Amino acid sequence: MYGRPTVLRRWNEQAVFGRLLREGPATRAQLAVRTGLSAPTVGKVAEALIEAGLVEECDADAVGSTGSPAGASANAKPSLIVGRPGRMLRLSCATPRVIVVQLGVRHTRLAALPVAGAAEDRWDTTFETSTRPSLWSKRLTSAAETLSIDAPWAVMVSVPGVVDEAGGRVLLSPNLHWSAKVDVPAIVAEACPRWNVPVLLVQEIRALALGEQAMEPASENFLLVDFGEGVGSAAVIGGRLYAGPLPLSGELGHTPTPGNERPCGCGGVGCLETLVSRGGLVQTFGQRMDIASPSWTALAAHVKHAGVEPWLTEALDHAASVIAGAMNVLGVGELVMTGSLMELGDPVTDALSEAVARRAMWSRFGQIACRWSSRHWSAGLIAAAIDRVLMPVDGQRIRLSGQETSA
């Protein structure tokens, strides 16, 4: 149990930090108005957050006028003068503090990011994901040596598949089987002993939903569906990432579709993702066009020329039915879609958006909002780091390296 002053201090820090996170840079006076805290309290909290390295001061003219908080603060220059009244506060963007790792089916990418994150994904280094964990670990060691970060606070690893985030385990990974047979956080910690900080797993699709939310803070209720090597989804409800009672949610890619006999990496048969993942679409394209070794590039070129042919409409309709079902259950009217389908062009993405809108029940009462977005891994992994390590809602902020703690 924490004493009352500790709890109060933590709430106040949450309130001030949360405003800066969601609304971008602000003066202490503005923060006092927005949080309802007294000016002296905001002053004390601000000093503690600055001392902790989570927040920094900046000039008003160094702050971008538009865009997301992440974008505005990432583009601003660090301040040189400290403590002058009336200056703006923002999330720290001068010093890299969090290492983000995207363990993808084909590539692994790394970046060292400040608390403010990055508006767009910019990776410091990339390597090919190995089919063996031992080789992946060796490649990770080499890649880690190229990162310029002195004292990281956390390592956030995005992994595809079904992930028990609290337990730090991959339960099932239909497209990257080895990750479910090993202790991924332990492999990362052993491969990079110099980091010596907590290694936390984030389910890939949840990282993408958190990233979308960080970039579009006004969107508080949406379903995000990503199309890539697999098909996954995650929902944000009431501004929070939705979590079911099982360590499994949003797995709409593994919903069997009628008439589909393809085996899936999950062990099932006829899953949606065997039709509309990259590999699934390429397979159908090859079968329909009678091409011995079809490729994604050939498919994209064909679709640009031939448009949305019946076989593709059929696959998109299956996806639309499953997505509309999820929206009906969750009660959300906003759909964000990301991933490789966008590479096939507007006729394809429009066809899927329209097919979902026709099927989702809310269309009979109001309007379904469908949009296509870039993936925002960096923003999502930083958001996860803030939630779980830097500013956890239901736990004490960790003592970060090189940081004094105020009594």
**Contacting residues toward Zn ion, per CB under 5 A:** 254, 264, 266, 268, 271
Please state the three-class secondary structure of the chain as a single string.
CCCHHHHHHHHHHHHHHHHHHHHCCEEHHHHHHHHCCCHHHHHHHHHHHHHCCCEEEECHHHCCCCCCHHHHHHHCCCCCCCCCCCCEEEECCCCCCEEEEEECCCEEEEEEECCCCCCCCCCCEEEECCCCHHHHHHHHHHHHHCCCCCCCCEEEEEECCEEECCCCEEEECCCCHHHHCCCHHHHHHHHCCCCCCCEEEEEHHHHHHHHHHHHCCCCCCEEEEEECCCEEEEEEECCEECCCCCCCCCCHHHCECCCCCCECCCCCECECHHHHCHHHHHHHHHHHHCCCCCCHHHHHHHHHHHCCCHHHHHHHHHHHHHHHHHHHHHCCCEEEEEEHHHHHCHHHHHHHHHHHHHHCHHHHCCCCEEEECCCCHHHHHHHHHHHHHHCCCCCCCCCCCCCCCCC
Q: How far is the CB of 291 from Zn ion (least distance, A)?
A: 25
Residue 179 carries which side chain, given as an amino acid letter?
S
CA distance 43 to 28: 7
Identity of the residue, 266 or 303, whose beta carbon is nearer to Zn ion in the bound complex: 266
Identity of the residue, 114 or 270, whose beta carbon is nearer to Zn ion in the bound complex: 270
CA distance 404 to 401: 9
Q: How far is the CB of 295 from Zn ion (least distance, A)?
A: 23
CB 276 within 8 A of CB 257: no
Q: How far is the CB of 265 from Zn ion (least distance, A)?
A: 6
Identity of the residue, 18 or 268, whose beta carbon is nearer to Zn ion in the bound complex: 268
Identity of the residue, 167 or 263, whose beta carbon is nearer to Zn ion in the bound complex: 263
Q: How far is the CB of 162 from Zn ion (least distance, A)?
A: 11
Q: How far is the CB of 248 from Zn ion (least distance, A)?
A: 12
CB 140 within 8 A of CB 104: no
Q: How far is the CB of 156 from Zn ion (least distance, A)?
A: 26
Closest CA to 44 of 69, 16, 21, 84: 16
Identity of the residue, 271 or 381, whose beta carbon is nearer to Zn ion in the bound complex: 271
Identity of the residue, 58 or 271, whose beta carbon is nearer to Zn ion in the bound complex: 271
Q: How far is the CB of 99 from Zn ion (least distance, A)?
A: 31
Identity of the residue, 252 or 360, whose beta carbon is nearer to Zn ion in the bound complex: 252
Q: How far is the CB of 268 from Zn ion (least distance, A)?
A: 4
Identity of the residue, 275 or 337, whose beta carbon is nearer to Zn ion in the bound complex: 275
Identity of the residue, 241 or 271, whose beta carbon is nearer to Zn ion in the bound complex: 271
Which position has the token pair 């990233």? 211
Q: How far is the CB of 270 from Zn ion (least distance, A)?
A: 8
Q: How far is the CB of 141 from Zn ion (least distance, A)?
A: 33
Identity of the residue, 231 or 383, whose beta carbon is nearer to Zn ion in the bound complex: 231
Q: What angle do CA 7, 8, 11 make, to 5 degrees?
A: 85
